[in-house]
Amino acid sequence: MIKIREAKLKDLKSIQKLALLLFEKEYKEWDKTLDLKWAFGEKGTKYFKKRIENENSYVLVATENNNMVGCRIGTISKPEEFRIQSKYAEAELMFVLPEFRSKGIGTKMLNQFIGWCKEKGVKRIKLITHAKNKEAHKLDRKMGFEDYDLVFEKEI
């Protein structure tokens, strides 16, 4: 049975492993600019630890038999200066092991994150996924997220 709970500092290495799997997938399929050493490097370790410990961040883990099979990381952030909203949340990272996908884990974690955002008084959530990650887009749209900004990049 899958259990979803808030992450604890003891989950740090397992979260880093899932983040690395996400980066490896995206690197292989879409984005050669990703630094595959980041998740376990000094900056990545600091980032994940801060997210777990900070009251303005929310880190969820999905486990089966005490083995981590997914995670969701989000945080409250300030909007761009030209926006009128005072609080934004950003759903920064989500990954579920391939063999556990399509079982509702991503939906449950996103719903919990949305609930947390409401408790914190957040009115708008930004969710960024790679443009070519159609699988993630399907979940995002199912959860009521709409296309908003479109970012273009060009290698020169």
Q: What is the pTM for the complete model shown?
A: 0.90
CA–CA separation, 72 and 44 (whole Å): 15
To which CATH superfamily is domain 2-142 assigned? Gcn5-related N-acetyltransferase (GNAT) (3.40.630.30)
Residue pLDDT, tens place only, 27-56: 999 999 999 999 999 999 999 999 999 999
Residue pLDDT, tens place only, 88-135: 899 999 999 999 999 999 999 999 999 999 999 998 999 988 888 888
The helix, strand and coil proportions of the chain, stated in percent and rounded to the nearest 5, come to 40, 25, 40
User: Which candidate, 54, 44, 107, 45, places its Cα nearest to that of 77?
Assistant: 54
